[in-house]
Amino acid sequence: MASKDVSTFSSRWWLSAYDTAITVPDVKYLENYYVRVTAKSGAGAAAASPSSELRWLPPVPSRVEGVRVAQQYRPGVVDVSWSKVEAVSAVTGYEVHVFSSDTWATEHKVTTTDLSTRVQIPNLVYDKTYWVHVKAVNAGGVGATGSALGVRWAAPVVPAAPIGVTATAGAVGQLSVTWSPLAEWHLVDNYEIEVATSADFSAGSVVSVTGSTGTSAVVVVPNAIRGKPYFVRVSAVNLAGKGSWSTTRQVSWAATVAPTTPSVKKSSLTCRRGKKTRVFVGASCPARWSKVG
């Protein structure tokens, strides 16, 4: 039988065969190869066949391991991280799928186009169980699904009462109010500060309501009166509602003190008349009295 030359148009491979199949060694993934076949005999070589393009794709990546979900107290974003797949898989990126038990269909999908091993998944909500899994991707396709991890946020309850409340009077009509932050699991959205003229905060006694997203506020009290006591309290607010009020603090602005008229000290004299001695008020002794000393 005549032999056949299998050529990749490179000096690396010139192979002869007496069959219709041959194995070409040392090919690399993702490189383009061109192959043509020429029949030869003692009389010479025939024209080469049309060339064929070949490209070897790597096998799909192995399963992603070491998936971790960093659950935060507040929903909306979850951090997902995982271990890098071995280099031999020629990974070009990862797919992170998030699905819920409501539909068992992917609700969120994040695709990376680099070799980073951490992403954030947004738009998650309370009282819903989510499952997260990660797949590696390469030119050969998408790898197998790893173990799914569950994450769920319980709906919030109303927060506790703030503690460490202080109220300090500044300029008349201004109060500086501070308090200690509540723990993260209280899921506080903002705080509410009330100022009243009555310690029971009865209807009509509240003169100021101020909101704050931090743990301090400058509160303006309209038409504040010096010397009058005012009462301050703080509550925390979240999606579930407003929590209990803090301990009440009392504060006031010092009353204006009217200036006093200085007293005029009157002079006095010791006077004598015969054997009698007496003190008189005035600049001189009476008639028939003489000044002593």
Q: Are residues 170 and 237 in the same domain?
A: yes
Q: Are residues 102 and 139 in the same domain?
A: yes
Asked if residue 292 belongs to a domain, the reply is no
- Which of 118, 152, 186 finishes a domain? 152
Asked if residue 272 belongs to a domain, the reply is no
- Which of 99, 128, 152 finishes a domain? 152
Give dist(CA 138, CA 153) in Å, integer: 34
SS3 percent helix, strand, coil of the chain, rounded to 5, is 0, 45, 55
The confidence score (pLDDT) of residue 11 equals 43
Amino acid at 194: E
Q: Are residues 105 and 48 in the same domain?
A: no
Give residue-wise pLDDT tens across range 249-280.
999 999 877 677 666 667 788 888 888 888 88
Q: Are residues 202 and 230 in the same domain?
A: yes
Q: Are residues 98 and 135 in the same domain?
A: yes
- Residue 204's region, left for phi above 0, alpha for psi from -120 to 50, else beta, is left
The confidence score (pLDDT) of residue 290 equals 85
The confidence score (pLDDT) of residue 10 equals 54
| Full domain range(s) for residue 94 | 68-152
- Per DSSP, what are the bridge partners of residue 177? 167, 217
Give residue-wise pLDDT tens across range 169-198.
999 999 999 999 999 888 899 999 999 999
Helix (H) or strand (E) holding 190: strand 190-196
Contacts of residue 187, Cβ cutoff 8 Å, sequence gap at least 6: 73, 74, 156, 159, 238, 239
Give dist(CA 141, CA 198) in Å, integer: 72
Residue 132 is encoded by which pair of tokens?
A: 């997260």
The confidence score (pLDDT) of residue 58 equals 83
249 Cα distance to chain centroid: 31
Q: Are residues 190 and 244 in the same domain?
A: yes
Asked if residue 88 belongs to a domain, the reply is yes
CATH number at residue 176: 2.60.40.10
The torsion angles phi and psi of 102, rounded to 5 degrees, stand at -70, -45
Asked if residue 263 belongs to a domain, the reply is no
Contacts of residue 207, Cβ cutoff 8 Å, sequence gap at least 6: 195, 196, 197, 221, 222, 223, 230
Low-confidence ranges of the chain (pLDDT < 70): 1-19, 102, 258, 261-265
Q: Are residues 84 and 44 in the same domain?
A: no
- Per DSSP, what are the bridge partners of residue 98? 108, 132
Asked if residue 289 belongs to a domain, the reply is no
Asked if residue 262 belongs to a domain, the reply is no
Contacts of residue 267, Cβ cutoff 8 Å, sequence gap at least 6: 281, 282, 283
Asked if residue 32 belongs to a domain, the reply is yes
Q: Tell me the whole-structure pTM to 2 decimals.
A: 0.57
Find where tokens 């070949």 sit: 54
The confidence score (pLDDT) of residue 161 equals 97
The confidence score (pLDDT) of residue 1 equals 39
Contact 134, 146 (CB under 8 A): yes
Q: Are residues 114 and 148 in the same domain?
A: yes
- Per DSSP, what are the bridge partners of residue 195? 208, 232
Q: Which of 209, 171, 208 is nearest to 190 (CA)?
A: 209
CB atoms within 10 A of CB 196: 20
The confidence score (pLDDT) of residue 16 equals 63
Question: β-pairing, 14-17 with 77-81?
Answer: unpaired
The torsion angles phi and psi of 98, rounded to 5 degrees, stand at -125, 125
DSSP 29: B
Residue 164 is encoded by which pair of tokens?
A: 């460490």
Residue 57 is encoded by which pair of tokens?
A: 């794709």
Asked if residue 291 belongs to a domain, the reply is no
Give dist(CA 267, CA 186) in Å, integer: 75
Q: Are residues 42 and 113 in the same domain?
A: no
How many distinct structural domains can be found in the chain?
3
Amino acid at 137: V
